[in-house]
Amino acid sequence: MICNYCGQMISRNLTIKEIFLPEKIAAEQLCLSCAKGFQLLEKKGSCLGCQRQLSTTPYCNDCIMWQRRYPEYDFHHEALFVYNKTMQEWFEEYKFRGNYRLRYSFAVFLQAYFKKKKNVLVIPMPISTERMKVRGFNQVEGLLDAANIAYQPYLVRFIDGDSQVQKTRKDRMALKQPFKLTKEGQEAIIAREVLLVDDIYTTGRTLFHAAQVILENTPSKLYTFSLSR
């Protein structure tokens, strides 16, 4: 086996669990030293709304602000990994340098998480057509594809968003609604449990915009998830 991230040989036997994984997923895992750099988020001691670590209060300041702005919304975001330096570098390589092979890096973790979300309509966060032309792939769909998770691309992004990285926190909070639903999506969402999936959760601004569009079409429940936060 070769590590999906650093390319080092992994010399160990497959575990029983791995033997039952699809071949490609079992083969494209992280080596022990890469895996060590990524830190799983802990539920304990983290914000109930967004899993931000080290919060001493039940909800962090961002979540308190969101609750004020969207009082009807039952907000409970879930994420798997801490957005630390290792994760930041990984996203550089995957998303901005376009190393599409890295979509497999977390497939095992994503499969385990989505196993608990049966009968849920999975909707990935979209990227704009301009962004698609530059990158060549939607990074969220790539992660889901690698983990064999079925999804529906019902959301459309008509204002580009990646330039957000350079924006200040205040600028980001003031952004306009950049999403809409496809016609098919508007009907499909009604009375369904929906899981909205993103790659990174930062301020929640993007996620809330997408959530708002989905909630207007009355799903029975809306969950949100990101690989990292």
Q: Which is nearer to Zn ion, 3 or 140 (CB)?
A: 3
Nearest CA-CA partner of 143 in 75, 222, 87, 188 = 87
Q: Which is nearer to Zn ion, 49 or 126 (CB)?
A: 49
Q: Interface mask (CB under 5 A) for Zn ion, residues 45-64, using x and -?
A: --x-xx-x-------x--x-
Q: Which sign does the torsion angle of CA 98, 99, 105, 110 carry?
A: positive
* Alpha carbons 123 and 140: distance in angstroms, whole number: 10
Residue type, 121: L
Q: Which is nearer to Zn ion, 60 or 80 (CB)?
A: 60
Q: Is position 87 an interface residue for Zn ion (rule: CB under 5 A)?
A: no
Q: Is position 146 an interface residue for Zn ion (rule: CB under 5 A)?
A: no
Residue type, 101: R
Q: Which is nearer to Zn ion, 49 or 178 (CB)?
A: 49
**What is the arrangement of strands in the sheet containing 221-228, beginning at the earlier edge strand?**
77-81, 221-228, 193-200, 121-124
Contact region with Zn ion (CB under 5 A), list: 43-51, 100-108, 126-134, 212-220: 43-51
Q: Interface mask (CB under 5 A) for Zn ion, residues 105-144, using x and -?
A: ----------------------------------------
Contact 77, 224 (CB under 8 A): yes
Residue type, 174: A
Residues that bind Zn ion (CB under 5 A): 3, 5-6, 8, 31, 34, 47, 49-50, 52, 60, 63
